Amino acid sequence: MQVIKMKTRLEDKIKALEKEKSALLEEVKQLKEIVELSEKAKDLEDEVNKLRKEVTTLKDKIPQEFLEELGETTMLHEEDEPPNEEDVL
């Protein structure tokens, strides 16, 4: 009888450990996905900021009268575009 109880306890322990292992593997997978998405978002944010800075730098090189014309044209195009993340926040 003692052996049967010991065997049953070990089998229960194995089942519990396998269940915990499965849950932990799933959690690790999800956390890795979060890290990956976070890194991608940061990279894209950096790239967008770099492009915005480049646009500003290039606009600074344009003579004022052309920039005013460009501003009118740009405003018309910006109305057609969805708002960017900073405008929403």
In whole angstroms, what is the distance from residue 82 CA to residue 79 CA?
8
**What is the value of pTM for the model shown?**
0.57
- The residues, ordered by sequence, that sit 6+ positions from 46 with a Cβ below 8 Å of its Cβ are none
65, HSE (Cβ side, Cα atoms, 13 Å)? 0
Q: Are 74 and 81 in contact (CB under 8 A)?
A: no
Task: Report the residue count for the chain.
Answer: 89
Cα–Cα distance, 4 to 70 (Å, whole number): 85
pLDDT tens digits for range 32-67: 999 999 999 999 999 999 999 999 998 888 888 876
Work out the average pLDDT over 13-39. 98
